[in-house]
């Protein structure tokens, strides 16, 4: 799979960043199964305007550009930065591999 970096801004509820974080954490689990977890990352941070990238998120973007567009080796692209609470994704992925896609009850 190609490299994938998602940015979020939880200040705008309609962007649904909690679901984005769960989705990206699940995607990272898939990438990890293929041994390429460093190609999938996310950076979710608020306190900036909609559709703007604050300077605090430049390092994640620059790392992905350096490694995957410019081909520079040795660039750390492990990124799971979020200002949201640590969301438990097990409810969404615990059935994987069972052929029974059933969500566990909400806690």
pTM for this one? Answer: 0.83
- Tokens representing 77 are 């692209």
| Residue of 21, 63, 25 whose CA lies nearest to 44 | 21
Q: What pLDDT was estimated at residue 23?
A: 92
Q: What is d(CA 31, CA 6) in angstroms, rounded to the nearest whole number?
A: 14
For the chain, residues with pLDDT lower than 50 are none
């Amino acid at each position: 799979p190609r490299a994938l970096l998602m940015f979020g801004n939880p200040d705008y509820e309609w962007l649904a960043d909690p679901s984005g974080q769960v989705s990206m954490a699940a995607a990272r689990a898939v990438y990890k199964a293929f041994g390429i977890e460093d190609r999938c990352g996310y950076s979710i941070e608020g306190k900036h305007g909609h559709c703007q990238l604050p300077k605090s998120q430049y390092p994640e973007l620059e790392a992905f550009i350096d490694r995957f567009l410019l081909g520079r080796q040795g660039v750390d692209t492990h990124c799971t930065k979020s200002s949201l609470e640590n969301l438990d994704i097990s409810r969404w992925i615990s059935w994987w591999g069972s052929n029974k896609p059933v969500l566990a009850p909400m806690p």
